Structure 1
Amino acid sequence: MVREDGKRNFVMLEDGEKTKQFTGEMPRQAALKAARRLEGYESYDSESEAEQNPTEIRLLERGTDRVHVYHAWAWEDSAPDTKPDWMEDNDVSTVTRGNVSKQGIEHIDT
């Protein structure tokens, strides 16, 4: 269901349970947010290494019967030279990056 500001809410499904909620104008935007919060990405130093072990994420679009299915992966990367002041102040040297590949849409029975 689309909000007045054009954003939609998606809930991550893990083992049939609704866990975390992500918001985005498009399903991919929410999936990228979810990918950056994956567990176990700390051991990957490059995207190509992380892409070899994708995690399937399933995002239920609130107000619909659509489940967007993605393969997602994340890795740690060095912070950009143009990082914001708050990253400088907290001495942050790495950032988490994520990527996704859409596998399809499933419809749940209501």
Structure 2
Amino acid sequence: MTSTSDNPRNFTLREENGEETSVFTGQTPRQAALKAARRLDPTDSEAQASREEFRLREKGTKKLHIYEGWAWREQAPDDKPDWMAETITEANVSKEGIEHLDEL
């Protein structure tokens, strides 16, 4: 028997106007937020990265997870596979809170 933590959950990126544009999958809201943060415009280093707020709604719920995310470019590791680019996008997130929507 599998626990609920083994099942991926879907989170939609929610814009200011309430429109939901992209879907990110993860076992936790943070996993999905990291995927969303990698789509931000990356800078040359983590220290230069500007933080951007975004909101993810867990599908099937009225729970809105609020994150601050940032992304930067980094050299790929020396043992990277042949298909991987020389530079990769790294990201980090900080959870700002949770809101509950009145309606969908």
TM-score by shorter chain over 0.5? yes
Looking at structure 1, the residues matched to 14 and 33 of structure 2 have their Cα atoms a distance apart, in angstroms, of: 12
Query: Helix, strand or coil: the match of 1:57?
Result: strand
Partner in structure 2 of residue 11 of structure 1:
12
Question: In structure 2, do the counterparts of structure 1 residues 25 and 4 end up closer, same or farther at CA, with 3 Å as the change threshold?
Answer: closer
Structure 1 residue 4, shift from structure 2 partner: 9.3
Alignment of 1:1-110 (within 5 A): 5-15=6-16, 16-38=18-40, 40-41=41-42, 44-50=43-49, 53-87=50-84, 92-110=85-103
Aligned residues with identical type, % of pairs: 58
| Root mean square deviation, CA, Å | 1.7
| Superposition TM-score, scaled by structure 1 size | 0.84
Structure 1 residue 6, shift from structure 2 partner: 1.0
Consecutive unaligned residues of structure 1, counting only runs of 5 or more, are: none
Flag the structure with higher helix content: 1
Task: Report the residue type matching 1:106 in the other structure.
Answer: E
Deviation track 1:13-45 (CA, whole Å, cap 9, x = no partner) reads 11221000000000000000000011x32xx21
Query: Helix, strand or coil: the match of 2:72?
Result: strand
Consecutive unaligned residues of structure 2, counting only runs of 5 or more, are: none
Looking at structure 2, the residues matched to 7 and 27 of structure 1 have their Cα atoms a distance apart, in angstroms, of: 10
Runs of 4+ in 1 over 6 A off after TM superposition: none
Looking at structure 1, the residues matched to 48 and 79 of structure 2 have their Cα atoms a distance apart, in angstroms, of: 25
Which is worse superposed, 26-35 or 76-85?
Answer: 76-85
> How many equivalent residue pairs?
100
Q: Does the 8 Å contact 2:57/2:65 carry over to 1?
A: yes
